[in-house]
């Protein structure tokens, strides 16, 4: 159980790219790391730690990420877990969920059971050309800013804290 798993649930690819960056930072620190779509994770046995992230739509995680989080909870804290959400699309929109928590209301209790090491919200991407007509209509009506708002330095720094924690635990 030496590998680290970075699993993600992404609709248009932005969250996948965040997961890939986290995996890159972990590998550069010397940690063998798999980066996988959450739908493709069927066995957690080979992993000493898990980083799980999801895109956020309408204040909810994608179904496949929520399912994997619940599978981790069923293991009752067998391995350290870090969580990230990707969603807000502007500097003034710093929260992905109502009331400011780091996870959707229904998943916070699950995360609490496994004593998640950290949960963060990263800014996301809004590219209307990738969206369907209904999604574009919603984004237009709420006047969501268009562009890529990911802060790669923040993502890399967070991944670095995970790497340091795992390296210290492995000594």
119-141 confidence digits (pLDDT tens): 998 987 776 667 666 666 666 66
**Average pLDDT estimate for 103-130:** 83
- Per-residue model confidence (pLDDT) at position 39: 96
> What is the CATH number assigned to the segment(s) 3-169?
3.40.50.360
Tokens 């909870």 belong to: 73
User: Residue 144 is encoded by which pair of tokens?
Assistant: 């969501």
- Per-residue model confidence (pLDDT) at position 157: 97
Mean of per-residue pLDDT scores for the chain: 85
| CB contact at 8 A, 58 and 97 | no
In this prediction the pTM is 0.86
Residue 36 burial by Cβ neighbours in a 10 Å radius (0-12, 13-18, 19+): middle
Share of the chain above pLDDT 90, in %: 51
**Average pLDDT estimate for 92-115:** 71
Sorted by where each begins, the domain ranges of the chain are: 3-169
Residue 92 confidence class, pLDDT cut points 50, 70, 90 = low
């Amino acid at each position: 159980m030496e590998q680290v798993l970075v699993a993600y649930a992404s609709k248009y690819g932005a969250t996948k790219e965040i997961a890939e960056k986290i995996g890159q930072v972990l590998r550069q620190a010397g940690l063998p790391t798999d980066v996988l779509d959450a739908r493709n994770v069927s066995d957690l046995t080979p992993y000493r730690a898990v980083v799980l992230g999801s895109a956020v739509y309408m204040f909810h995680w994608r179904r496949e990420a929520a399912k994997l989080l619940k599978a981790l909870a069923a293991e009752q804290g067998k391995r350290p877990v870090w969580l990230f959400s990707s969603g807000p699309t502007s500097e003034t929109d710093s929260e992905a969920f109502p009331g400011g928590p780091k996870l959707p209301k229904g998943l916070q209790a699950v995360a609490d059971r496994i004593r998640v090491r950290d949960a963060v919200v990263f800014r996301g991407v809004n590219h209307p050309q990738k969206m369907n007509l209904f999604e574009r209509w919603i984004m237009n009506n709420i006047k969501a800013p268009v562009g890529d708002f990911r802060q790669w330095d923040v993502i890399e720094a967070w991944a670095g804290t995970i790497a340091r924690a795992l390296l210290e635990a492995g000594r």
